[in-house]
Amino acid sequence: MSALLDADIIIPEHADVGNAVGALAGKGVKKVEVLIIPESIEKPAEDFLIFYPGGREHVVDYREAFERARQIGLDMVLEYENRCGVSKEETETNVSVKSISPENWPHPPLETRITVVGIGNPMMIIKG
């Protein structure tokens, strides 16, 4: 390999476990987008669909749909971090919301996109 690259290759003594140490000390990032739309444009104030990775749900009330969508996003992020060995307490989450409606629209938004980003850092909590 040295001759092919025309360079000296130096392999540290414990290189075989370097990735494992990096994974333990590193951060896990997960982003989930959840979409809420009215089921029918003819009745935009009732019955909403929530779309998320791997599924969809029907909810009657917009506020209920909004809270459900937010919770779905948070649950998916925290479940991913948990699978990576990062606890809820070691995960920082950020929820952002973008809605689209025509001007002077008297109904709930035509589209609401909730984005949940979780950054897990197992080193965030110092255990003593």
22: in domain = no
Domain that holds residue 113: 30-120
Count how many domains the chain has. 1
Q: pTM for the full model?
A: 0.75
Return all residues near 60 (Cβ < 8 A) that are at least 6 apart: 46, 47, 48
4: in domain = no
Question: What is the per-residue pLDDT for 13?
Answer: 72
Confidence of residue 27 (pLDDT cuts 50, 70, 90): low
Question: What is the per-residue pLDDT for 85?
Answer: 86
Spatial distance between the Cα atoms of 98 and 106, rounded to a whole number of angstroms: 17
- Per-residue pLDDT of 48-105, as tens digits, reads 999 999 999 999 999 999 999 999 999 999 999 998 888 899 899 999 999 999 999 9
8: in domain = no
15: in domain = no
99: in domain = yes
What would the two tokens of residue 108 be? 């709930």
12: in domain = no
14: in domain = no
